[in-house]
Amino acid sequence: MTAPAATRLPLTRNPRFLRLWAAETISHFGSSITGIALPFVAITLLQAGPLEVAILNLADFLPFLLIGLLAGALVDRLPRRAVLIGGDLGRALLILTIPLAYLAGVLTLPQLIAVGFLVGVLTVFFDVAYQAYLPSLIGREDLVEGNSKLEFSRSAAGLLGPGLGGLLVDLLRAPVAMLVDAASFLASALFLASIKDRAASTPAVSSAPTTERDGGLPTPARGAMRREIAEGLRFVFGHPVLRTIGAATATSNLFSSIGGAAFMLFAINELQMSPALIGLAFSLGSVGGLLASLVAGPLSRRFGVGRVIVATVALGGPFEFAVGLGSAGADALNLALIAAAGFAMGGSGTIYNINQVSLRQAITPEAMSGRMNATMRWFVWGTMPIGSIIGGIIGETLGVRAAILIGGAGASLAFIPLLFGPVWKIKEMPTAEEAPRT
pLDDT band at 432 (very low <50, low <70, confident <90, very high): low
The single-letter code of the amino acid at 397 is T
Asked whether the predicted pLDDT for residue 315 surpasses 90, the reply is no
Q: Which of 245, 191, 207, 210 is nearest to 373 (CA)?
A: 245
SS3 131: helix
| pLDDT reading at 256 higher than 50 | yes
Would you call 210 helix, strand, or coil by DSSP? strand
User: Considering only the top CATH level, what class is 12-197+225-425?
Assistant: mainly alpha
Identify whether the C-beta of residue 87 lies closer than 8 Å to the C-beta of residue 129: yes
Among 91-105, 205-219, 225-239, the range with the most confident prediction by mean pLDDT is 91-105
- What does the alpha-carbon distance between residue 280 and residue 178 come to, in Å, rounded to a whole number? 18
- φ, ψ for residue 66 (rounded to 5)? -80, -40
Sort residue 407 into left (φ over 0), alpha (ψ -120 to 50) or beta: alpha
The percentage of residues in the chain with a pLDDT greater than 70, rounded to a whole number, is: 84
pLDDT at 206 over 70: no
CB 152 within 8 A of CB 62: no
Q: Which of 24-33, 187-196, 200-209 has the lowest mean pLDDT?
A: 200-209
Given a contact cutoff of 8 angstroms between Cβ atoms, the answer to whether 40 and 97 are in contact is no
User: For the chain, how many residues are written?
Assistant: 438
Least confident of 187-191, 300-304, 370-374: 370-374
Residue 384 sits at the vertex; the CA angle it makes with 326 and 368, to the nearest 5 degrees, is 140
Provide the pLDDT for residue 99: 86
- pLDDT band at residue 438 under the 50/70/90 scheme: low
- pLDDT-derived band at 174 (thresholds 50, 70, 90) equals low
In this predicted structure, the answer to whether residue 264 has a pLDDT above a threshold of 50 is: yes
* pLDDT classification of 314: cutoffs 50, 70, 90: confident
Q: What is the pLDDT of residue 328?
A: 83
- Among 41-50, 190-199, 324-333, 413-422, the range scoring the smallest mean pLDDT is 190-199
Q: How far apart are the first and last CA of the chain?
A: 25
- pLDDT top residue among 162 and 277: 277
Distance of alpha carbon 318 from alpha carbon 296, whole angstroms: 21
